[in-house]
Amino acid sequence: MILISDLTVQFHDSDRRAVDGLNLTIGKGEIVGLVGESGSGKSVTAMSIAGLLPRRRCTATGSIAIGGEELLQTNREQLRTVLGRDLGVVFQSPTSAVNPLFKIGKQVEEVLVIHTKLTAKARKAKALEALAAVDLPDPERVYNSYPHELSGGMLQRAMIAAAIVSNPKLLLLDEPTTALDVTIQAQILQLLKRLNQERGISMLFISHNLAVVNKLCHCVAVMQRGHVVEQGDTEQVFHNPTHPYTKALIDAIPRRKQEG
Ligand SMILES: Nc1ncnc2c1ncn2[C@@H]1O[C@H](COP(=O)(O)OP(=O)(O)OP(=O)(O)O)[C@@H](O)[C@H]1O
């Protein structure tokens, strides 16, 4: 469903590759966790998938295909069409992802304005449906609210609603719970699990938090210095890591006392 082959990204002002020969597969309905230490290339991988690489400042080679359609070696216009239809993106900080001047409803609908010919009434119906799907109470009120009127957790739910409103094949989540407190984090993870089960949306979940990945993801890919050193079933990778770097990452997870 999404196939990344030999992705390499070199920023022109850097002497090392940010992503270096990355191979990654995400199957239909699968949640894949992408983990690795700071600077290992997780966010640059996400930017490559989302078409957000600053093309003048870096060179990207290899292939990224969603449902057989190539994203990397394509022009901006085609890329926008594929991304609007097939990909939803949620970033770490909901407060910096939203525009403070526009009401939530307008921001949830934006992708429909760009990529569909739906009437304003039909767009609103879809936006309300998406806001309800992420368990926001009183979707109509949220639709008419400005971002500062919502809590951080509610805002992240609204951003997830914006990402799923066009029924994408893949949700790209870059540290979506890192900025939230632990209780809200658990609720958002529950929500993602449910959306995956109910809608069959595939997800790439980028996180430095292995405990969270262990809870949510079917598979995990471990990145080191720009490429994937180990990928497999989450249970298997966590209980039987084969690569020394994966072993070191797992050993570094803080354990609760009763677990020894
Ligand atoms: N705009 C940029 N220009 C130059 N180098 C960059 C740019 N963005 C990222 N890099 C470099 O690419 C490498 C990978 O960075 P990236 O942000 O993808 O790591 P990460 O795994 O997401 O780290 P973190 O967990 O801290 O977010 C780093 O060496 C970083 O310095």
By alpha-carbon position, which residue is closest to atom 8 of ligand 1? 44
Which atom of ligand 1 is least distant from the CA of 36?
A: 21
Say whether 63 sits in a helix, a strand or coil: strand
Domain contains 258: no
- What domain range includes position 93? 2-253
Domain contains 147: yes
What is the interface pTM, i.e. ipTM, of the complex? Answer: 0.95
Q: How many domains does the chain have?
A: 1
Is 42 close to ligand 1, i.e. is its CB under 6 Å away?
yes
Q: Residue 112: CB partners within 8 Å, gap ≥ 6?
A: 118, 123, 126, 127, 165, 166
Is 225 close to ligand 1, i.e. is its CB under 6 Å away?
no
Q: How sure is the predictor about 256, in pLDDT bands with cuts at 50, 70 and 90?
A: low
Say whether 175 sits in a helix, a strand or coil: coil
184-231: per-residue pLDDT in tens?
Answer: 999 999 999 999 999 999 999 999 888 899 999 999 999 999 999 999
* Distance of CA 65 from the midpoint of ligand 1 (Å): 22
- β-pairing, 202-206 vs 31-35, is parallel
Domain contains 259: no
67-85: per-residue pLDDT in tens?
Answer: 888 988 888 788 888 888 8
Is the pLDDT at 255 greater than 90? The verdict is no
Domain contains 260: no
Q: Residue 227: CB partners within 8 Å, gap ≥ 6?
A: 19, 20, 21, 22, 23, 41
138-148: per-residue pLDDT in tens?
Answer: 999 999 999 99
CATH of residue 29:
3.40.50.300
Q: What pTM, to 2 d.p., does this model score?
A: 0.91
Is the pLDDT at 259 greater than 50? The verdict is no
Domain contains 113: yes
Choose between 111 and 19: higher pLDDT.
19
